[in-house]
Copies of this chain bind each other. A is one copy, B any other.
Amino acid sequence: MPTLRIALSQVNPTVGDLAGNAQLVRTWTRRAADAGAHLVAFPEMMLTGYPVEDLVFRRSFVAASRAALERLAADLAADGLGDLPVVVGYLDADGPPQISSDAEPGHGARNAAALLHRGTVAATYFKHHLPNYGVFDEDRYFVPGDVLTVVRIGGVDVALTICEDLWQAGGPFAAARHAGVGLVVNINGSPYELNKDDIRLPLVRRRAAEAGAAIAYVNMIGGQDELVFEGDSMIVGADGELLTRAPQFVEHLLVHDVALPAAGERPGDDTAIVDGMRVARATVSESLPAPAGPAAVGGMIEPVADEAEVWQALVLGLRDYVNKNRFPSVVLGLSGGIDSAVVAALAVDALGPDRVVGVSLPSQHSSEHSREDAAELAKRTGLDYRIEPIQPMVDTFLANMSLSGVTVENLQARVRGVILMALSNQEGHLVLTTGNKSELAVGYSTLYGDSVGGFNPVKDVWKTLIWRLAKWRNVDAERRGETAPIPENSIGKPPSAELSPGQLDSDTLPDYDVLDPILIGYVDGDLGRDGLVEAGHDPAVVDKVLRMVDTAEYKRRQSAPGTKISIKAFGRDRRLPITNRWREDG
């Protein structure tokens, strides 16, 4: 039984940065070679980054991806790494690099994997199962492949698969069993969702049983607009045993020795079409020397608390949005409340205090404790703290226009937005928005006011989870002997927008302990009114909440992008018509 030393490169590519991503492959292939690996695998669409969305339709981009792949194969050989087989994801298309510009749909783009060896593209595979739900639109972008590529490496037959191929039964994994492979490599751009790691391992085990083969699963990490990729790479034996598992949210080279059946032990039949797929084979090497020195044993990461996982996801999503878009720094308004405190703490964790500007924007309705809590947060985190009173500007608007009621409340929020955008213009900061998912859902925010900003780290975080995150972050700091970043008063006090005298969120909204479960059922669960009432919620509250959600769609569409932690977040995957007369209460 040959033993292959498998290296999984859990790295962080950047969309569109073909040269930089190719350089990442060269650097990490060198590390894998230094570790004595027989095979190294990189994530889905590694060369282009993922997802590339409508860049797929740009034939210049497809041609650049193909050219970058050829160049990478040559560069790896020139680096002296040509003998190490490298599996890498890239964007391909049928026929010559020039795809027809007027043939849409059916332009023939492929979500592809290549095996690079000795300066050439030794084999390619085109993703078979294309996800078209949630955050995915791959039926729009790609043509599915129907050929399972099996490459003999060190005398082991290795099948190449991509991401969704693992999430659906049949297709490549059924064909892999029929082809008698010893290992299935599955390369991924699999976005983080809360608790997705809990379903990933059982799924990989199921596919190992389906293929009758070990599975090497490699996933990227990093933030890309609203998505964050978590890693969680792993190797599972044919018997379903978890052999090694990488940490979430950090780059990592997972190297592990795996004993695999030699090719021919379970002879494959290549004449049949299995689940619509035929088999194509290539050979890299019929045998390889056994790994030298001590056995390579990858680590084994245990699951962490939900709050820790979400915090890391939000930090990584924010850091990459800022850095990959080359913003020098961020700015946000500090109200003294919990939302802006959590966003500030996230920003300091993501970027360091020197790259975070926090601005207190007090009005005549701002309480003394609000100013104090904002200042206390600034002191604890060390961010760049400013104070910009809004009253002079608000008063000038009021002196020149005849405004009253909620208009005056919104005016204050909009003056704050103008100030933050002016600071952004003047000093180059990205404005962070701090509205949580609960208030976005019900429209409890001012469009072009507190909704102003380029990125919202807590866009997909329910208010009750905001509190849990704040408490967890403080406890975690204390556990590590560090200063808890978030003032206890910001956590404990009743939430208020402070736009009118004595205003509290509870004047307008149900308590968040009541509100959030209804929102979770309606937004994330697609429950209708009757389903929510059956679940035990007060019908009158349900009706009020649903009406608020239904009329807030436009505000949500105008809100800043932010890292998703649920596949059913607002965004692409829960897109309701703005013009829509449907009411759950009839």
Contact = CB atoms under 8 A, between A and B. Distances in A.
A425 interface: yes
Interface stretch (A25-33, A411-419, A512-520): A411-419
A426 B409 CA distance: 11
A229 to B, nearest CB: 12
A58 interface: yes
Contact of A410 (B133, B397, B421, B579): B421
A569 to B, nearest CB: 12
A345 B406 CA distance: 31
A380 interface: no
Interface stretch (A177-185, A234-242, A447-455): A447-455
A79 interface: no
Interface stretch (A118-126, A255-263, A290-298, A388-396): A388-396
A579 B421 contact: no
Given A139-B139, A418-B397, A418-B415, A581 B324 contact: yes
A452 B406 CA distance: 19
Interface residues of A, number: 89
A16 interface: yes
Nearest to A57: B526
A224 interface: yes
A273 interface: no
Nearest to A99: B526
Interface in A396-432: 396-397, 399-404, 406-407, 410-411, 414-415, 417-419, 421-423, 425-426
Interface of A: 14-18, 20, 49, 51-55, 57-61, 64, 101, 104-105, 132-134, 137, 139-140, 223-225, 320-321, 324-325, 388-389, 392-393, 395-397, 399-404, 406-407, 410-411, 414-415, 417-419, 421-423, 425-426, 447-448, 452, 454, 525-531, 554, 557-558, 560-561, 573-584
7 contacts: A49-B577, A54-B574, A60-B528, A104-B133, A395-B396, A415-B418, A561-B578
Given A325-B578, A401-B422, A410-B422, 14 more contacts: A16-B582, A49-B577, A53-B576, A53-B577, A57-B526, A104-B134, A139-B140, A393-B393, A393-B396, A395-B396, A403-B425, A407-B426, A418-B418, A448-B448
